[in-house]
Amino acid sequence: MHKEEKEYLYWLHNVPGVGDGKMRRLIDFLGSAQAVYFATDKQLMSVLSRAETDKMRAFGKEWKVKEAYEKMTALGMKLVCEKETEYPSRLRAVNGAPYLLYYKGQLPEEKTVAVAIIGARECSEYGRYVAKAFASRLAEEGVNVISGMARGIDGIGQEAALTAGGKTFAVLGCGADICYPAANRKLYEEIVKNGGILSPYPPGTSPQKTLFPYRNKIVAGLSDAVLVVEARQKSGTWITVDMALEQGKDVYAVPGRVTDRLSDGCNLLIKQGAGMAISPDDLLKELSVLTARTVLLHQDKEEKGVLRFLDLYPLSIDEILERAQSEDENITLSGLMFELIQLCMQGKAKEVSSNYFVKTG
Amino acid sequence: MFSTILSGGIYGMHSYLVQVEVDMSQGLPCFAMVGSLGAEVKESGERVRIALKNKGIHIPPMHIAVNLSPADMRKEGTGYDLPIAVALLVSMGIVRESDAKNTLFLGELGLNGEVKAVKGVLPIVRKAQEAGIRRCIVPFGNGREAGCVQGIEVIPVKSVEQVMQYLRGEEKITPVSVDLEDLLNAGMWEDEPDYADVSGQETPKRAALLAAAGFHNLLLAGPPGSGKTMIAKRLPGILPPLSSKESLEVSALYSIAGLLDGKRSVIARRPFLHPHHTISPQALTGGGRIPKPGVISLSHRGVLFLDELPEFNRQTLDALRQPLEDKTVQIARSYGNFTYPADFMLVAAMNPCPCGYYPDRNKCRCTPFERHQYLSHISGPILDRIDLYAQAPKVKIAQLQSKKKEISSAQMRSQVMAARQRQEWRYRGSRLRFNGELKVGEVEKYCILGQKEQKMLVHMFETMDLSARAYHRLIKTARTIADVEECENIKEEHLAEAACFFGSRKGVFTDA
């Protein structure tokens, strides 16, 4: 596709009131975005209403087609249209996929397995650990990790994938030039280097609640399987899961304790028939990435000392003491504190909040 | 005829002696009072005249002038009634001047001649004792309070008539003398709530013990109903007793604030104040034209407990910054600058997040932003002055039902006392009393670490991402832990425990 046509596509996408549907119809009718730009009112009005035509005309005067496009590319942003071969083929198969996709960095690799790792924004230490474990193992095996770069599971998974040397792709519910949430700035920049930031919305679109469901649809669309790490019974994660099922993708969920509200969603998914992801290698096996290799199931090493009383969710010193004293009555509070700090210094445990400790992976 | 009588006044925290001068001369009958007097002192003339009349003493129609010297000090309070009455009696020749010599008088008069209790007796009597005055005559209600001062004869009186008869030698009154030591040691802890009532909660209880032993500021966090308030309210039961010097210091403050009465004539226990969170900055620091001691001064040598810390107005909390640093509070008003002592132990309780359940993710859905907002009510400099952070976890029903013997206040008290003695010995001959008071230079002087411990500290700072500010605070706490464990030197386990109470990496509660 010519650069010129892309400039006009960019213009057309920015016209207020023109969505994917109208855009498709206009281009089908007139042949190209450039043709739409130069079309007569009469031609336009066979697709648009009078008011919409006027709006488009008014907007056309303001918009500097060439400069605007160059301004966008100067930000490192690229644009891909459904009609181009570069357009992700997985997405092409999705009903209602975006006509245009903006991205920074690269597009997901066509021949690599892509897994979406999604979950709650306010995750627990358990979710954090699991997301990290799965993402880094999958990334090590070359799987592309797709997610929404949100706070919590999304971001943690993507960060772990990058740390493991893999590629990860984030689909945003705002312009791909905007880092949302702002706290993930570092992650955003890393993803641009080793993967890509994608968005169906023009640059400069600010994050809005209403834009996120569609974003979730694209996350599901870009992946071969969806892994839910932690989700409440009512959560945005369900949108992604529903979309994935609609698109015929596999859904896996990480089981949690039945008393954990943050695992309710996952457990419910498993009950409804989702795949149970009990270890990264198990999941890889399911994805048949690892079929040829021996599966080394991650087994817990025999843990010694106080570490065995710790868990993946925060425990207060009192709770740890209670656990420890049920095994060995001679353990004192001071002695336990000494051991805990030792573990923290060795990086085996972490104080997540005053007097609350978790073990780290 | 001219006469002069001794009395005393209070100006802020400063007490001074006042000469009450009365002159009766021929001329137009009047009763003039001068000497920079407050409204209640000006009214004194009327009270004195009627009180004397009702006791059968008529003041002759003469030109009467009363001067309270030094005339440039602002005089407030009702304690000048009795000295003015006595000065008049001397002027009228009813009482001999020599009988009223070397004696300090204080007291308010009722219209029936009764002598009523007044504020600030204790510091004035102390001042008189220091000035070498032999005897003081105080209202009966203030007798025990004044009696705590040794080396001066304290005569409690009930009416102006009794004073007259006593001065003329017609009646004998036994002087009061209170043995402060006895009072300080008598049945102190009988009615204090006991730590044995608190089930589980070993970590926060340990933190309370350390706070009491080293006079460290303490912050307790935890979900609603976890017993933070219970733990804090049991602190007075384990604090080391007041020394007699401290007791006089605190009692003087209470005397000035008018909080001593017949029932509580002297402050024998460490004060424990827990103001409601709607308190104003003035009420906290001390307010008024001539400021009265505020809540922080009334907690001097004791505990100031702020429950629901983030609910306090930020301005109110910020008013604590200077007193926490200087151990005194300076208040500037139009009448001058006033300094009150304010060396208190700050104990605060709060929820870790707006809903109160963090880090229990099953219940807490507060976002990091919300938690941050909640904690930002408390300014950093306040948090910096807190040495001990402890979280009280949710109480399990099993704990409430368990028959396990909990550590009692008596056990904790003996540990506190042992640590107290170690500190007394270490800081003998210096201004210091507790580890919590150590300043940076003093930490280096008194808390010497071995090589092993220093290495561990370095390692701890590197791996646990502690700030440099934390360094001295951590060592101070470790010193107290070593004292409680009766160790001469700070060991590795003491440093580790101090780190546990350190409030995690970024101040209070880190982000999981």
Residue B504 and residue A342: Cβ atoms within 8 Å?
A: no
**pTM for this predicted structure:** 0.73
Q: Which of A314, A317, A338 sits opposite B359 (nearest CB)?
A: A314
Residue B464 contacts A where some CB pair is shorter than 8 Å: yes
Q: How remote is the C-alpha of B250 from its chain's centroid?
A: 5
Q: Which residue has 């989700």 as its token pair?
A: A231
**Chain CA centroid to CA B326, Å:** 15
Q: Structural domain tally of chain B? A: 2
**pLDDT tens, A150-194?**
999 999 999 999 999 999 999 999 999 999 899 999 999 999 999
Could you say which of B431, B465, B487 is where a domain stops? B431
CA distance B389 to chain A (A): 7
**A3-105 and A114-286 share one CATH topology?**
no
Residue B511 has pLDDT above 60, yes or no: no
Per-residue pLDDT tens over the stretch A62-121:
888 888 899 999 988 999 998 888 899 888 888 888 999 999 999 998 888 899 999 999
Residue A184 per-residue DSSP state = G
In a shared domain, residues B304 and B161? no
Residue B462 pLDDT more than 60? Answer: yes
Residue A293 has pLDDT above 60, yes or no: no
CA distance B422 to A244: 69
Do B144 and B254 reside in the same domain of the chain? no
| β-strands B30-34, B63-69 pairing | parallel
Is the residue at B464 inside a domain?
no
User: DSSP assignment of B309-326, as one string?
Assistant: GGGS-HHHHHTTHHHHHH
Q: How high is the pLDDT of residue A300? A: 43
Q: Which residue has the tokens 């006042």?
A: B18
Q: pLDDT at position B371, please?
A: 83
Does B508 reach chain A within 8 Å, measured CB to CB?
yes
Domain containing B390 equals: 195-431
pLDDT per position as a tens digit, B89-115: 999 999 999 999 999 999 999 999 999
> A212 pairs with which residues across the strands?
none
Please name which of B247, B228, B216 lies closest in space to residue B501, comparing C-alpha atoms: B216
- Rg over CA atoms, chain B: 28
Q: How many A/B residue pairs have CB atoms within 8 Å? A: 112
pLDDT value, residue B54: 94
In this structure, are B140 and B232 located in the same domain?
Answer: no
Mean local confidence (pLDDT), B303-308: 94
Q: What is the pLDDT of residues A194-243, one digit of tens each?
A: 999 999 999 999 999 899 999 999 999 999 899 999 999 888 888 899 88
Residues B213 and B99 in one domain: no
Burial tier of A273 (Cβ tally within 10 Å: 0-12, 13-18, 19+): exposed
Look at B459 and A345 and tell me if their CB atoms are within 8 Å.
yes
Type of residue at B287:
G
Of B380, B411, B431, the residue that ends a domain is: B431
In a domain, B338, yes or no: yes
**Rounded to a whole number, what is the largest CA-CA distance in chain A?**
90
CATH 3.40.50.450 fits A114-286, yes or no: yes
CA distance B479 to B489: 8
Q: For residue A234, what pLDDT is reported?
A: 87
**Which run of H or E residues covers position B50?**
helix B44-54
One domain, residues B105 and B19: yes
A334 touches chain B (CB under 8 A): yes
Cα distance between residue B128 and residue B60, in whole Å: 32
Mutate which: B199, B201, B203, vs A, most A CBs within 10 A: B203
Instruction: Decide which of B397, B431, B465 is a domain's last residue.
Output: B431
B500 vs A305: CA distance, rounded Å: 18
Say yes or no: B258 and B368 in one domain: yes
Tokens of B28: 């137009």
Tens digit of each residue's pLDDT (9 = 90 or more) over B253-292: 999 998 887 778 888 889 999 999 999 999 999 888 888 8
Angle ∠(A66,A69,A71) on CA atoms, nearest 5: 105
Q: What pLDDT sits at residue A218? A: 93
pLDDT value, residue A299: 38
**B118 touches B9 (CB < 8 A):** no
A206 Cβ contact partners less than 8 Å away, ≥ 6 residues apart:
A174, A175, A178
CB contact under 8 A, A318 and B202: yes
Residue written as token pair 């999304």 = A154
Q: Does B455 touch chain A (CB under 8 A)?
A: no
CATH number, domain containing residue B265:
3.40.50.300
Q: What is the CATH number of the domain that holds B104?
A: 3.30.230.10
pLDDT at A16: 86
Rg (CA), chain A: 24
Please check whether residues B409 and B265 belong to one and the same domain.
yes
Q: Does residue A312 belong to the interface with chain B, where contact is any CB pair within 8 Å?
A: no
d(CA B107, CA B335): 25
B141 token code pair: 């209600």
B contacts of A342 (beta carbons < 8 Å): 496
Same domain, B230 and B364: yes
HEC string of B222-248?
A: CCCCCCHHHHHHCHHHCCCCCCHHHHH
pLDDT value of residue B510: 47
pLDDT at A298: 36
Distance from CA of A210 to the nearest CA of B (A): 20
The burial class, CB within 10 Å (0-12 / 13-18 / 19+), for B187 is exposed
Residue B499: per-residue pLDDT: 87
Q: ipTM of this predicted complex?
A: 0.80
Please state the domain extents for chain A.
3-105, 114-286, 305-359
Nearest CA in chain A to B222: A354
Adjacent-strand bridge partners of B200: none
Residues A255 and A248: their CA atoms lie apart, in Å, by: 22
Residue type, B4: T
Query: How far, in Å, CA of B82 to CA of B94, rounded?
Result: 15
Q: Which two tokens stand for residue B217?
A: 């500021």
Tell whether the model's pLDDT for residue A303 goes beyond 80. Answer: no
CATH architecture of A305-359: Orthogonal Bundle (1.10)
Q: Which of B362, B364, B391 sits opposite A355 (nearest CB)?
A: B391
Q: What gap in Å lies between CA A311 and CA B154, rounded to an integer?
A: 68
Element at B349 (helix H, strand E)? strand B345-350
Residue A166 region, left (φ>0) first, then alpha (ψ -120 to 50), else beta?
beta
Task: Please choose, from the candidates A142, A148, A145, the residue with its C-alpha nearest in 3D space to the C-alpha of residue A132.
Answer: A145
A339 exposed, middle or buried (CB, 10 Å; 0-12, 13-18, 19+)? Answer: buried
Least confident of B184-193, B198-207, B428-437: B184-193
Chain B: closest CA distance from residue A133 (Å): 17
Residues 6+ apart with CB under 8 A from B506: none
* Cβ–Cβ under 8 Å, residues B97 and B169: no
Q: Is residue B377 part of a domain?
A: yes
Question: Could you report the per-residue pLDDT of A45-65, keeping only the tens digit for each?
Answer: 888 888 888 888 888 888 888
For residue A340, the chain B residues in CB contact (below 8 A) are: 496, 500
Residue B511: inside a domain: no
* B350 in contact with chain A, both atoms CB, cutoff 8 A: no
Classify residue B176 by its DSSP letter.
B
E-state strands within B367-443? 388-391
Distance CA B437, CA B415 (A): 19
Asked if the structure places residue B404 within a domain, the reply is: yes
Task: Give domain A3-105's CATH superfamily.
Answer: 5' to 3' exonuclease, C-terminal subdomain (1.10.150.20)
A329 CB contacts (<8 Å, ≥6 apart)? none
For position B480, what pLDDT does the model report? 95
- Regarding whether B126 and B209 lie in a shared domain, the answer is no
Residue pLDDT, tens place only, B122-171: 999 999 999 999 999 999 999 999 999 999 999 999 999 999 999 999 99
Best A126, A130, A354, A357 member to test B by mutation, with max B CBs in 10 Å, is: A354
Q: In chain B, what are the helix, strand and coil shares in percent, each to the nearest 5?
A: 40, 15, 40
- Among B256-260, B358-362, B467-471, which is the least confidently predicted range? B467-471
Beta bridge partners of A227: A117, A252
DSSP β-ladder status, B388-391 and B328-333: unpaired
Residue B209 lies in a domain: yes
Domain-embedded: residue B173:
no
